[in-house]
Amino acid sequence: MDHTQMKPVAVQLLKYLVGILLLALSTISHAEVIDGKVVGVLDGDTIDVLDAALVKHRIRLAGVDAPEKRQAYGERSKQSLSDMVFGEQVQVEAHKRDRYGRRVGKVLVNGQDANLQQISLGMAWFYRQYESELSPDDRRKYAGGELSARQNGLGLWADKNPVPPWGFRRQ
Protein backbone atom coordinates (compact mmCIF):
# COMPACT_ATOMS: atom_id res chain seq x y z
CA MET A 1 0.00 0.00 0.00
CA ASP A 2 1.51 3.30 -1.02
CA HIS A 3 1.28 6.60 0.86
CA THR A 4 -1.75 7.88 -1.11
CA GLN A 5 -3.80 4.80 -0.26
CA MET A 6 -3.06 5.09 3.47
CA LYS A 7 -4.63 8.55 3.83
CA PRO A 8 -8.25 7.41 3.10
CA VAL A 9 -7.82 4.49 5.54
CA ALA A 10 -6.65 6.89 8.28
CA VAL A 11 -9.62 9.20 7.62
CA GLN A 12 -12.05 6.27 7.81
CA LEU A 13 -10.44 5.09 11.05
CA LEU A 14 -10.69 8.59 12.54
CA LYS A 15 -14.38 8.84 11.55
CA TYR A 16 -15.02 5.45 13.14
CA LEU A 17 -13.30 6.45 16.41
CA VAL A 18 -15.18 9.76 16.56
CA GLY A 19 -18.45 7.86 16.04
CA ILE A 20 -17.68 5.52 18.92
CA LEU A 21 -16.78 8.47 21.15
CA LEU A 22 -20.04 10.25 20.30
CA LEU A 23 -22.02 7.09 20.99
CA ALA A 24 -20.33 6.67 24.37
CA LEU A 25 -21.00 10.28 25.29
CA SER A 26 -24.64 10.03 24.26
CA THR A 27 -25.24 7.09 26.59
CA ILE A 28 -23.61 8.97 29.47
CA SER A 29 -25.72 12.07 28.91
CA HIS A 30 -28.98 10.10 29.17
CA ALA A 31 -28.79 10.15 32.97
CA GLU A 32 -31.78 11.89 34.51
CA VAL A 33 -31.01 13.91 37.62
CA ILE A 34 -33.69 14.01 40.30
CA ASP A 35 -33.27 16.35 43.26
CA GLY A 36 -35.61 15.86 46.18
CA LYS A 37 -36.30 14.77 49.72
CA VAL A 38 -36.43 11.12 50.73
CA VAL A 39 -39.94 10.53 52.05
CA GLY A 40 -39.87 6.75 52.22
CA VAL A 41 -37.48 3.82 52.57
CA LEU A 42 -39.08 0.61 51.37
CA ASP A 43 -36.13 -1.71 51.97
CA GLY A 44 -32.34 -1.68 51.83
CA ASP A 45 -32.19 -0.75 48.14
CA THR A 46 -35.40 1.16 47.34
CA ILE A 47 -36.51 4.66 48.35
CA ASP A 48 -39.16 7.24 47.51
CA VAL A 49 -37.99 10.75 46.62
CA LEU A 50 -40.30 13.77 46.48
CA ASP A 51 -39.08 16.45 44.06
CA ALA A 52 -39.75 20.22 44.15
CA ALA A 53 -42.87 19.76 42.00
CA LEU A 54 -44.17 17.31 44.63
CA VAL A 55 -43.81 14.36 42.28
CA LYS A 56 -42.84 11.13 44.04
CA HIS A 57 -40.19 8.98 42.36
CA ARG A 58 -39.54 5.38 43.36
CA ILE A 59 -35.77 4.79 43.16
CA ARG A 60 -33.90 1.47 43.06
CA LEU A 61 -30.25 1.85 44.05
CA ALA A 62 -28.07 0.90 41.05
CA GLY A 63 -25.53 -1.87 41.56
CA VAL A 64 -27.04 -2.84 44.93
CA ASP A 65 -29.09 -5.85 46.00
CA ALA A 66 -30.10 -5.77 49.65
CA PRO A 67 -31.56 -8.66 51.65
CA GLU A 68 -35.33 -9.04 51.35
CA LYS A 69 -37.35 -7.80 54.34
CA ARG A 70 -38.18 -11.38 55.46
CA GLN A 71 -34.55 -12.43 55.02
CA ALA A 72 -31.74 -12.28 57.59
CA TYR A 73 -30.42 -8.68 57.73
CA GLY A 74 -33.40 -7.42 55.70
CA GLU A 75 -34.69 -5.09 58.41
CA ARG A 76 -31.17 -4.04 59.42
CA SER A 77 -30.40 -3.17 55.80
CA LYS A 78 -33.57 -1.09 55.54
CA GLN A 79 -32.75 0.68 58.82
CA SER A 80 -29.21 1.39 57.63
CA LEU A 81 -30.46 3.05 54.45
CA SER A 82 -33.14 4.91 56.40
CA ASP A 83 -30.58 6.26 58.89
CA MET A 84 -28.53 7.49 55.94
CA VAL A 85 -31.17 9.11 53.72
CA PHE A 86 -34.64 9.41 55.28
CA GLY A 87 -35.73 13.06 55.46
CA GLU A 88 -32.58 14.14 53.62
CA GLN A 89 -32.21 16.07 50.39
CA VAL A 90 -30.66 13.76 47.80
CA GLN A 91 -29.60 13.86 44.21
CA VAL A 92 -30.36 10.79 42.12
CA GLU A 93 -28.46 10.07 38.91
CA ALA A 94 -31.00 7.75 37.26
CA HIS A 95 -30.10 5.98 34.03
CA LYS A 96 -33.04 3.65 33.39
CA ARG A 97 -36.32 2.23 34.61
CA ASP A 98 -36.58 -1.36 35.74
CA ARG A 99 -39.36 -3.78 34.87
CA TYR A 100 -41.43 -2.45 37.80
CA GLY A 101 -41.21 1.14 36.55
CA ARG A 102 -38.77 2.26 39.24
CA ARG A 103 -35.93 4.56 38.26
CA VAL A 104 -32.55 2.94 38.83
CA GLY A 105 -29.65 5.15 39.83
CA LYS A 106 -26.98 6.38 42.16
CA VAL A 107 -28.23 8.21 45.26
CA LEU A 108 -26.04 11.00 46.57
CA VAL A 109 -26.66 12.40 50.04
CA ASN A 110 -24.42 15.25 51.20
CA GLY A 111 -22.14 14.35 48.29
CA GLN A 112 -21.74 10.75 49.47
CA ASP A 113 -22.72 7.70 47.41
CA ALA A 114 -25.45 5.93 49.46
CA ASN A 115 -25.25 2.88 47.16
CA LEU A 116 -21.56 2.43 48.00
CA GLN A 117 -22.23 2.98 51.70
CA GLN A 118 -24.85 0.22 51.82
CA ILE A 119 -22.39 -2.19 50.22
CA SER A 120 -19.40 -1.07 52.33
CA LEU A 121 -21.37 -1.43 55.58
CA GLY A 122 -22.24 -5.02 54.68
CA MET A 123 -25.92 -4.15 54.31
CA ALA A 124 -26.14 -5.22 50.66
CA TRP A 125 -24.40 -7.11 47.91
CA PHE A 126 -22.75 -5.51 44.92
CA TYR A 127 -25.25 -6.60 42.24
CA ARG A 128 -22.80 -7.85 39.63
CA GLN A 129 -25.56 -8.96 37.26
CA TYR A 130 -26.02 -5.27 36.39
CA GLU A 131 -22.44 -4.03 36.76
CA SER A 132 -22.20 -3.21 33.03
CA GLU A 133 -24.71 -0.40 33.67
CA LEU A 134 -22.31 1.28 36.12
CA SER A 135 -19.33 3.47 35.36
CA PRO A 136 -15.95 1.71 35.57
CA ASP A 137 -15.16 3.81 38.66
CA ASP A 138 -18.38 2.76 40.44
CA ARG A 139 -17.82 -0.90 39.51
CA ARG A 140 -14.37 -0.72 41.09
CA LYS A 141 -15.62 1.07 44.23
CA TYR A 142 -18.61 -1.23 44.73
CA ALA A 143 -16.52 -4.38 44.27
CA GLY A 144 -13.92 -3.01 46.69
CA GLY A 145 -16.60 -2.04 49.20
CA GLU A 146 -18.06 -5.53 49.18
CA LEU A 147 -14.64 -7.15 49.48
CA SER A 148 -13.75 -4.97 52.46
CA ALA A 149 -17.09 -5.68 54.18
CA ARG A 150 -16.60 -9.43 53.60
CA GLN A 151 -13.03 -9.42 54.92
CA ASN A 152 -14.08 -7.46 58.01
CA GLY A 153 -17.22 -9.52 58.68
CA LEU A 154 -19.45 -6.44 58.56
CA GLY A 155 -23.24 -6.69 58.53
CA LEU A 156 -24.53 -9.68 56.62
CA TRP A 157 -20.97 -10.89 56.17
CA ALA A 158 -20.91 -11.79 59.89
CA ASP A 159 -22.91 -14.89 58.86
CA LYS A 160 -20.85 -17.87 57.74
CA ASN A 161 -22.98 -18.45 54.64
CA PRO A 162 -25.11 -15.41 53.85
CA VAL A 163 -27.80 -16.11 51.26
CA PRO A 164 -27.85 -13.55 48.46
CA PRO A 165 -31.26 -11.97 47.82
CA TRP A 166 -31.49 -13.43 44.31
CA GLY A 167 -31.07 -16.91 45.84
CA PHE A 168 -33.61 -16.16 48.57
CA ARG A 169 -36.17 -14.94 45.98
CA ARG A 170 -35.79 -18.21 44.04
CA GLN A 171 -36.63 -20.31 47.12
**Residues designated catalytic:** 60, 68, 102
Closest CA to 106 of 42, 145, 59: 59
DSSP-H helix ranges across 86-135? 114-120
SS3 label, residue 149 = helix
CA 21 to each of CA 7, 24, 131: distance values in angstroms, whole numbers, following the listed order: 21, 5, 21
φ, ψ of residue 16 to 5 degrees: the values are: -60, -45
Torsion angle of alpha carbons 127, 130, 133, 134, nearest 10°? 20
Q: Are 164 and 125 in contact (CB under 8 A)?
A: yes
